[in-house]
Amino acid sequence: MFDLILKIALIAISLATLCLVYRLVKGPSMQDRIIALDTIGINLIAIVALTSIVLDTYAFLEAILLLGILAFIGTIAFAKFLEKGEIIERERDL
């Protein structure tokens, strides 16, 4: 029963990811795409978590944490890029 639910959950999240990819490809504006990417990242966290339950291992917990950080950093980087045109600003005073 538990296995079945896990599988259903995995499939559901995968389908959600597929939908996000649709938005990623189609997304009329760049912001749509970045949100899609961010959400894909979060979905990945869920998939990794579910997978580690399926595989019965602790080995992927770092991956979950890392995904959380990276999805955040990535989205910030894109957002800053869209806002200011560059990611790392130079200290112009020096």
Partner 1 sequence: MSILHWAIFSPFILAILVPLLYKRVGRIHTGWFVLVLPVLLFIYFFQFISVTSMGDSIRENVSWIPTLDIGIDFYIDGLGLLFALLITGIGSLVILYSIFYLSKEKEKLNQFYVYLLLFMGAMLGIVLSDNLIVLYMFWEFTSLSSFLLIGYWNEREKSRNGAQKSMLITVFGGLSMLGGFVMLGLMGGTFSIRALIAESGSWTSHSLFIPAMLLILLGAFTKSAQFPFHIWLPDAMEAPTPVSAYLHSATMVKAGIYLVARLSPIFAQIELWFWIVSIAGLLTLCWGSFFAVKQTDLKGILAFSTVSQLGLIMSLLGLGAAALHYDGLDDQLYMAATVAAVFHLINHATFKGSLFMAAGIIDHETGTRDIRKLGGLMTYLPVTFTITVIGAFSMAGLPPFNGFLSKEMFFTSMVNVVNLNIFDMETWGYLFPAAAWIASIFTFIYSMILLFKTFTGKAQLDKLEKEPHEAPIGMLISPIVLAALVITFGLFPNILSTTLIEPAVSSIQPAADHLHVHISFWHGFGTEVWMTIGVIVLGILLYLSLSRWNSIYHIVPERFSLNALYDSILKMVNNGSGFIAKAVMKGSIRSYLIYIFAFFILMMAFSLYHKGAFRMNTENTAPIGVYEIILALVMIIGSISILFAKSRLTSIIILGAVGYTVALFFVIFRAPDLALTQLVIETISVALFLLCFYHLPKLASRKEERMTFKLNNAVISIGVGLVVALVALSAQSQKFFAPISSFYLENAYKEAGGKNVVNVILVDFRGLDTMFEIAVLGIAALGIFAMIKLRLTRGNK
Q: Can residue 30 be called a binding residue for partner 1 (CB under 8 A)?
A: yes
Interatomic CA distance for residues 65 and 71, integer angstroms: 10
- Phi-psi bin for 89: left (phi > 0), alpha (psi -120 to 50), beta? beta
Q: Can residue 5 be called a binding residue for partner 1 (CB under 8 A)?
A: no
- Cβ contacts of residue 58 below 8 Å, gap of 6+? 52
Q: Can residue 78 be called a binding residue for partner 1 (CB under 8 A)?
A: yes
Residue 53: CA count within 13 A, CB half-sphere: 13
Q: Can residue 25 be called a binding residue for partner 1 (CB under 8 A)?
A: yes
Q: Which residues bind partner 1 (CB under 8 A)?
A: 7, 10-11, 13-15, 17-18, 21-22, 24-25, 30, 33-34, 36-37, 40-41, 44, 47-48, 51-52, 55, 57, 59-60, 62-63, 66-67, 70, 73-74, 77-78, 81, 85-87
